[in-house]
Amino acid sequence: AAGVIQSPRHLIKEKRETATLKCYPIPRHDTVYWYQQGPGQDPQFLISFYEKMQSDKGSIPDRFSAQQFSDYHSELNMSSLELGDSALYFCASSLARESNTEAFFGQGTRLTVV
């Protein structure tokens, strides 16, 4: 079965650079979530999209932005990167029509800021 695809799997950037993370949800899923997981931490919700519109907003810094495109894939854009942005970034997708259904997670993108 198709899963959530994230790219790239690993990314190394320097401080003050920008990064773009991509997420391809499971086919027919209409909701995408982005989470940030620091070393040894629990995943922190950043932002979500339902039918290409922002649905919920969590602890996403102003330096970050995201969008969902017409094909339902989503991109997380990160600017003015800081050392503290080094983390594992997960994308998840779900089908909103099924209330309280679980989210399916991708393998994550490991971002290292040096």
Least distance (Å) between residue 10 CB and other proteins: 11
User: Six-digit token pair at 80?
Assistant: 């003015």
- Give the footprint of other proteins on this chain (CB under 8 A): 30-31, 33, 41-43, 45, 48, 50, 55-56, 58, 90, 92, 94-108
- Separation of alpha carbons 64 and 97, rounded Å: 28
Could you tell me whether strands 74-78 and 44-50 are parallel, antiparallel, or unpaired per DSSP bridges? unpaired
> Of the two residues 23 and 78, which places its CB atom closer to other proteins in the complex?
23
Bridge partner residues of 54 (DSSP): 49
What are the backbone dihedrals phi and psi of residue 2, each rounded to the nearest 5 degrees, phi first? -70, 140
The residue (of 71 and 97) whose beta carbon lies closer to other proteins is: 97
Closest CB to other proteins among 70 and 99? 99
